[in-house]
Each structure stands twice: as structure tokens, then as C-alpha cells.
Amino acid sequence: MELRKAVRKFVQKEITPNIEEWETDGFPNEIFKKMGKMGLFGVSHPEEYGGSNLDYFAAMTVTEEIASSGCAGLGMAFNIQALMATSPILKFGTKRQKNNYLVPSITGEKIASLGITEPSAGSDVAGIKTTAKKVNRGWILNGSKVFITNGIRADYQVLIAKTERLDSDSMYSIFLVDSNMKGFSVGQKLRKVGMHASDTAEIFLEDVFVPDESLLGGEGEGFKQLMWQLNGERLIQATACVAGAQRCLDLAVQYSKERKQFNKPLSQKQVIRHYLADMHTKVESARALLYSVASRYNQGEVLVKEISMAKLFSSKMYFEVADQALQIHGGYGYMDEYPISREWRDARLMRIGGGTDEIQKEIIAKEMGL
């Protein structure tokens, strides 16, 4: 496929040579602009907003190639921009919102973040405490967010908050909040186990006024919109997990052929060969499930259970394969100069972000009628 070849060429030229530097200093905003010029952010978005209007598999192809680069931090930041934050704007936004936020995000001129997780509300989305109080011509936001990918560099945030009406129970709504608004502040850059190339931050909102046109969709529709968004987020995370696991397998195979023990390559040792065969089977099993679910999702099916299954299975598989690949590398695998150590660190997040393993199991069980 020409798209895959083009993205792979871009990765080899613009990403691979810079990974070690970005792991220390973080990737520069300029790479988003280069991705925008390549059309990578808008592969599956409509042409009228600068996209290519291709199908979901095209978006998956881009994610796979970037994930295969070995810079999972950049891959995560890319997916926030390309699909997780901008897709709700496309589906629920007004023409003005699309022009002001979606279009410059597709070109890479604006950087987006998702404001969901809070200090006391992670998997428990219903526990969100950030509030939006209705005032004349707009809303006043108060609260905080945490673990926000792209939080340091983002130009705006797709943010969920609790809204209240006098005649109804508390509800949730989503707002498009510019980072330069008065009262919007960014805390320290958080230190993480992995994903070092991307920035993760705390966000604080103190009497932030946003105009009425900042509301995404209707008041009180935020929870429904968020559940829709999370389905797409989890499926693209599964895509990144399968691609990342494939890279771990490739690194293990390469090392096992090059590394000699007792005058023979490791790949000729039965125990290592069996490890690799088992890893390969896990990767292909996850890929088969992913592509099956993605095919149905691409046709417009609502697949809450199946997407959770793909996310659960692929994220666990990714870490298992990364861990086994590191084991095959032995002591060298624990050294920073070997890329498998970075893959191992980065893989662990995928069982937490986008809904933990335990949340996915609850969703699956509920959909089973249990």
C-alpha cells in the first residue's frame, strides 16, 4: 500500500534518527507540523476539513507505522491528536468549531489534548469533580485534570465537566477550552516510568470563562459523547499495542540470531525458539482479533464488548511479549542503550490508559449480561 510506504519513509527520515534525543528532551512541536503537511492527522477525516476521507484501516496503518518506530511516546501523542481528541469535534462539533479546532489540528498548527482524568476520577469517569457553571453568555469552569498527554504543549483541550440545571440532576458536558484562557494553568511536567518522549501534565482551572460556543454538542450530552470517544480510543490503542508487540518480537528475533552462547546463536536453542514461537502466536492472535473488530467498526457497527476485548487482550499481550523479549536479551535488555528496555517501559502504560484491564473486564461482563 502506498500510504504505508509513505509513512514508513517519513518515520525513517524524521523520527527514527531522533528517538534518543526525544527520550531525553521530548519531541519538538515541529514534528507535528511535518506530520500535518504529510496529511497524517487527517487520513480518515473529510476532505472539506483538510482530510483524505479514507477508511478506518488507513488510520490504523498510520498508527501501526508510527508505533513501529520505537517511539511510543510520540505515537501516543499523535493518536491523541489524530483520532482521540479531534474525532468528537468532527462528530459533535459545529461548523465553526470544526474550522477553529479540527482544521488546524489536521494541519498540525494546533495541538490538542483530552481533559478527562482527574486526581480522584480515573477509571471512575462518573466521579469527575470539575464543574461548569452557567453564566451570561458562557460558562465558568473550576477544577483540575491530571495525566494529560500533550498537556504542556497543547493549544486547547477537549474537556469534560459536570454541569447542573435547577430542574435536573447533575450532568456532564464537553467543552473546547483554549489553553491561553485566563485562569487556565499548566502544572509541572510529570515524571513517568516510560513514554518519555511525550509530555504529561496537570491542568488547573480557576474561574475559567468559556463562551457558549465552546460547548461541544448539547448540554448534558458529555457522558454519552465520552463513551463514544472511548470506543475509538481503545481500538486505536489496541492497534498501537499489536504494532508495538511486533517490534518487540522483531527485536528479540534479531538479537537471538546475533547473540551467541556456547558457540551457537541463541535462536538455535530450543527454549529460545519456543519462546519466540509462543510470542509470534500471541501477536498474530491479537492481530486477528483486532482486524476482525476493526472491519466491523469500519462498517459502522457498535461494538462495545468487542472493542474492550481487543483492548484488553492486545495490551496484556504487548507487555507479555515485551517482557519475554527483554528476558531473551538477558542483562543487555536491562540496559538503556538497547531499545527493548524502552519498549518494556512504554508497554506497561497500555494496560492502564484508556481504561484499565479491570474496567475492560467489567464492560465485557456487563455486555455478556452478567
Query: What are the contacts of 329-337 at 24+ separation with CB within 8 A?
Result: 329/251, 329/252, 329/255, 329/259, 332/255
Rounded-to-integer distance, Cα 192 and Cα 72, Å: 13
Beta strands in the chain (DSSP E): 112-115, 131-135, 138-149, 156-163, 171-178, 184-189, 200-211, 215-216, 260-261, 264-265
| Residue (of 286, 343, 344, 348) closest to 67 by Cα position | 343
Task: Detail the DSSP E strand segments found in 116-242.
Answer: 131-135, 138-149, 156-163, 171-178, 184-189, 200-211, 215-216
- Exposure class string for 56-93: b at 16+ Cβ within 10 A, else e: bbbbbbbbbbbbbbbbbbbbbbbbbbbbbbbbbbbebb
Please indicate whether residue 109 is annotated as part of the active site: no
Q: Are 350 and 315 in contact (CB under 8 A)?
A: yes
Instruction: Write down the catalytic residue from 23, 65, 233, 306.
Output: 233
DSSP 75-94: HHHHHIIIIITHHHHHHH--
Enter the C-alpha cell of residue 21.
Answer: 534525543
b/e code 237-273 from CB counts within 10 Å (16+ = b): bbbbbbbbbbbbbebbbebbeebeeeeeebbeeeebe
Which residue in the block uniquely carries the three cell numbers 518487540? 248
Q: Residue 232 is placed in which grid cell?
A: 475509538
Task: Give CA torsion, residues 327, 333, 338, 340, to 10 deg.
Answer: 40
Active site residues: 233
